[in-house]
Amino acid sequence: MTAAAAFDVTLARAIIARKQSTPGAALPILHDLQHAFGYIDDAAIPLVADALNISKAEALGVVSFYPDFRRAPAEGRVMKLCRAESCQANGCEELVAHLETKHGIAPDRPKPGAGLQVETVYCLGNCALSPAALVDGEPVGRLDAARLDAIVSAGQASAQ
C-alpha cells in the first residue's frame, strides 16, 4: 500500500474504468483505489456503484465488510501483525505485550502521534519465519522485540 495521496476524482474514474468490465470487478477496483490513494475515499463509493450498476449501499457494504479496506488515510506506517497459531507459538503475543508496555501501542486501536498503526491479521502465509508481519506491505519475518522497536522508531521519525 502506498502512502495516502490526495483523492483525485479523475484518477479514480480511470482506475475504475480499467477493471469495471471484469467479472467480480468490485474487489479488484477497490484494491486498486486503495493502492493509489492509501484508503477508499467516501467520494469513490458512488463512482464504484455507478460503474458497476450497484447501489451505493452495496458498494459501501463491500468496503466495510473487508477489514483490509481503509476508509481514511492511515496515520504513519501500518504494520499487519500475524497472530495465528504459528506466530503465537513463536512469540507474537509477547510482542503485542511489548508494544503495549514499552510503546503504548495496542493492535487495532490507532494511537494518534505514534507513527505506527498495528493491525491484527490471522496468517500471512509466512509461518516458516514466525512471528511474521507486513510493514507498509513488505514482509518481515522472525520479528523480535529489537526489530519491533526499530520499526516503531522509524515510524515515529517519519511522523515528525
Q: Band of the pLDDT at 157, cuts 50, 70, 90?
A: confident
pLDDT surpassing 70 at residue 1: no
Q: What is the mean pLDDT of the chain?
A: 93
Nearest CA to 115 among 134, 94, 142, 135?
135
- Chain centroid offset of residue 63 CA: 13
Compute φ and ψ for 154, nearest 5 degrees.
Answer: -65, -40
Could you tell me which residue, 2 or 78, shows the higher pLDDT? 78
Nearest CA to 76 among 117, 104, 108?
117
46-70 pLDDT, tens per residue?
A: 999 999 999 999 999 999 999 889 9
Structure confidence at residue 2 (pLDDT): 46
pLDDT surpassing 50 at residue 124: yes
Q: What domains appear along the chain, each with residue ranges and CATH number?
A: 9-65 (no CATH), 77-159 (3.40.30.10)
Nearest CA to 82 among 73, 93, 68?
93
